[in-house]
């Protein structure tokens, strides 16, 4: 196992759910990260799906010492570099490309790339990656696919994301090749917009108790 895979595992292992966040207003970033951290979910993924995402990462990295902030929806090397410069402790991508692998090779920030086919998983494995995002999980065979990968690709672990909910998260976490899951249910858009941080903290606390 490579040092970067070990670094990524050290950041995310032990936390069953990684909140996948879409920050519409940068003012929400710090109170949201604090609420999730209080609930036991310190590692969070802020996706680059909004204009304020990079600034949100900067603020959380600078102001929420207890949080481990990562960047998601990274599609190319430029975004990788921007997210790393903003203070991301880990980088998440929906897929895997040679450009992303090159960017990650030259950076101390570990990459969690998406892979759903045997070929993609093997390509990531050849690049020294043993911990991958399985996205979109539910649409790509879900639990059945991950069970099928467990034997022929026994040294590869996954973080399934996409269609993961409070109802099915425990089923995914019961699989031997699943380290954690990614999900947005712990921080619903309506609760973020209303600033209902106590309710988000309660959702995070429930999610943090999900164990294998």
Active-site annotation holder among 4, 22, 45, 201? 45
Q: What angle do CA 150, 151, 154 make, to 5 degrees?
A: 70
The active-site residue out of 4, 133, 157, 201 is 133
Cβ pair 115, 134 in contact under 8 A: yes
Nearest-Å Rg of the Cα atoms of the chain is: 16
* Whether residue 133 lies in the annotated active site: yes
**Best CA proximity match to 41, nearest among 18, 64, 72, 69:** 18
Could you give the C-alpha distances from 176 to 72, 112, 141, 151, in angstroms and in order?
A: 24, 18, 17, 10
Residues 6+ apart with CB under 8 A from 49: 22, 73
Catalytically active residues, by annotation:
45, 133
């Amino acid at each position: 196992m490579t040092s970067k895979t070990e670094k990524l595992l050290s950041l995310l292992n032990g936390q069953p759910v990684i909140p996948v966040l879409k920050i519409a207003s940068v003012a929400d970033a710090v109170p949201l990260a604090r609420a999730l951290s209080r609930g036991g979910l310190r590692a969070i993924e802020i996706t680059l799906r909004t204009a304020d995402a990079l600034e949100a990462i900067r603020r959380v990295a600078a102001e929420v010492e207890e949080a481990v902030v990562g960047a998601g929806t990274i599609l190319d090397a430029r975004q990788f570099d921007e997210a790393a410069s903003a203070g991301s402790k880990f980088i998440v991508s929906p897929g895997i490309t040679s450009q992303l692998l090159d960017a990650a090779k030259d950076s101390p920030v570990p990459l969690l790339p998406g892979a759903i086919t045997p070929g993609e998983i093997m390509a990531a494995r050849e690049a020294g990656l043993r911990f991958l995002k399985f996205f979109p999980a539910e649409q790509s065979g879900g639990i059945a696919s991950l069970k099928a990968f467990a034997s022929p690709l026994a040294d590869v672990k996954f973080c399934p994301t996409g269609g993961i909910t409070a109802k099915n998260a425990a089923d995914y976490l019961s699989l031997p090749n699943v380290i954690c899951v990614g999900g947005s249910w712990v921080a619903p858009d309506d609760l973020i917009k209303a600033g209902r941080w106590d309710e988000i903290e309660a959702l995070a606390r429930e999610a943090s108790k999900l164990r294998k």
